[in-house]
Amino acid sequence: MDRVSKPAAWLLGRIVLTLAALSLLMVASLAHADDPPPPLKDNGLARTPPMGWNSWNKFACEVDEALIRKTADAMVSSGMREAGYQYVVIDDCWHGARDAHGDIQPDPKRFPSGMKALGDYIHSRGLKFGIYSDAGLKTCGGRPGSWGHEYQDAQQYAAWGVDYLKYDWCMAGTQDARSAYYIMSSALQATGRDIVLSICEWGTSKPWLWAGDVGNLWRTTGDIYDKWEGVRDYSSGVMNIVDKQAELYPYARPGHWNDPDMLEVGNGGMTTEEYRSHFSLWAMLAAPLIAGNDIANMDAATKAILTNREVIAVDQDPLGQQARRVSKTGDLEVWIRPLQGGGRAVVLLNRGSAPAQVRLDWSQMDYPLTLKAKVRDLWAGKDVGVQQARYQANVASHGVVMLKVQP
Ligand code: GLA
């Protein structure tokens, strides 16, 4: 009896244990499949859209430490820093190889003093240091990406004194975008250093739906190029990019911004009028203001656009609400951005080839028709008086009239 019952009891015990283990595993794997990782802690950065400079639009892969130092100096001497521009970001192609430990190193010919020294130089100018990597095996310029090295790279950037990471999406394989950016965001947070995360996934997986929990800004489109309108390979002109932002206003908020790509102001492909419109619309969109021109050699017109304090103040308004396009009649558009304190920023845009009258109605700003409001023209730098019910202005071809309306 004993000899029979002992193995039977043992067998029964094993079956019960195995079943229990299996059901635990099933519960665990179900939980794994169903539950996305919890939202990351907000890093508390970029309460207003980041402002700075990035090497890509003008210099592409032609970057070295002399250029970055010269640009940092020019950010100070030109008044860009005083106007609010902070981050000096080296885009693609700064990379050399990984060393024997797998630590990423800069290209020794282009950055012979190393990235720590360059970061120190940027910081000594009262500016912040930004760098670029990619969530794939290689960057778009074919340099080593961070896939599989995320924590190691984040530690390296922190040791160099990096304050801002632009993280691209070339050669990313079949990775899920949210998960890939989540890993780098966790890695940056684990360094204990304040590092802004700029997500550069080109809008492919609708990042506005998920990136607010992962990073500080997210590209909403492919690359910008230095033209008013048009599409070239993966790049779009300013008007094409603007059209893609019109529906994204609900997603912008302090710490988390739609990014319609970096500025082309001063790069030579558009007129001064068009650059003024480009800059005004970026300010209305609460877009990061990342200059992309040659700061050390910019002309007076470029500098006047990039450093217009009143337009920058619209971009940096602490309420953090992105503008809405409230009317579009052919080539004529009205964009409205609510500001802290009950005022409104307004852009009257003329996309057509001849000057035109564009009208703003108080109802478009959610104001009663009887409300009296002071109207100021931000590019003219002039008050145009107290107005009521409506305001109309003549707008140049491809131009804007940008207003601040204050009841
Ligand atoms: C992508 C990005 C650009 C730039 C280049 C660098 O195209 O969208 O902004 O960083 O890569 O190779």
Instruction: Exactly one of 91, 92, 223, 259 is catalytic; name it.
Output: 223
For residue 39, the model assigns a pLDDT of 78
Question: Which of the two residues, 30 and 364, has the higher pLDDT score?
Answer: 364
73 catalytic per annotation = no
For residue 200, the model assigns a pLDDT of 98
* Measured CA distances, 256 to 10, 197, 217 (Å): 59, 10, 5
For residue 2, the model assigns a pLDDT of 43
Distance from C-alpha of 161 to C-alpha of 112, rounded to nearest angstrom: 17
For residue 146, the model assigns a pLDDT of 98
For residue 21, the model assigns a pLDDT of 52
How many Å lie between the centroid of ligand 1 and the Cα of residue 306? 22
Distance from C-alpha of 49 to C-alpha of 254, rounded to nearest angstrom: 8
The helix, strand and coil proportions of the chain, stated in percent and rounded to the nearest 5, come to: 35, 25, 40
Nearest CA to ligand 1 atom 4: 56
Cα–Cα nearest to 281, from 237, 217, 330: 237
pLDDT in tens, 57-68: 999 999 999 999
* Measured CA distances, 254 to 45, 192, 318 (Å): 9, 21, 7
For residue 9, the model assigns a pLDDT of 56
223 catalytic per annotation = yes
Q: Which amino acid is at 390?
A: R
For residue 327, the model assigns a pLDDT of 98
Cα–Cα nearest to 221, from 289, 292, 185, 169: 169
Residue 154 structure tokens? 């984040």
For residue 12, the model assigns a pLDDT of 56
What is the chain's mean pLDDT, rounded? 94
pLDDT in tens, 25-47: 454 455 555 677 787 899 999 99
Question: Which of the two residues, 37 and 131, has the higher pLDDT score?
Answer: 131
For residue 24, the model assigns a pLDDT of 47
Range 70-99 average pLDDT: 98
Range 362-389 average pLDDT: 98
Pocket of ligand 1 (CB under 6 A): 56, 91-92, 139-141, 168, 200, 223
Distance from C-alpha of 317 to C-alpha of 254, rounded to nearest angstrom: 10
DSSP assignment letter at 327 = E
For residue 1, the model assigns a pLDDT of 37
With tokens 């939980």, the residue in question is 31
pLDDT in tens, 331-363: 999 999 999 999 999 999 999 999 999 999 999
**For a substitution probing ligand 1, which of 223, 232, 234, 241 has the most ligand atoms within 8 Å of its CB?**
223
Residue 319 structure tokens? 């309420």
Question: Which of the two residues, 141 and 15, has the higher pLDDT score?
Answer: 141
Nearest CA to ligand 1 atom 9: 223
How many Å lie between the centroid of ligand 1 and the Cα of residue 362? 41
Q: Which residues pair with 357 in a beta bridge?
A: 394
Range 230-243 average pLDDT: 97
Contacts of residue 113, Cβ cutoff 8 Å, sequence gap at least 6: 65
Distance from C-alpha of 28 to C-alpha of 315, rounded to nearest angstrom: 46
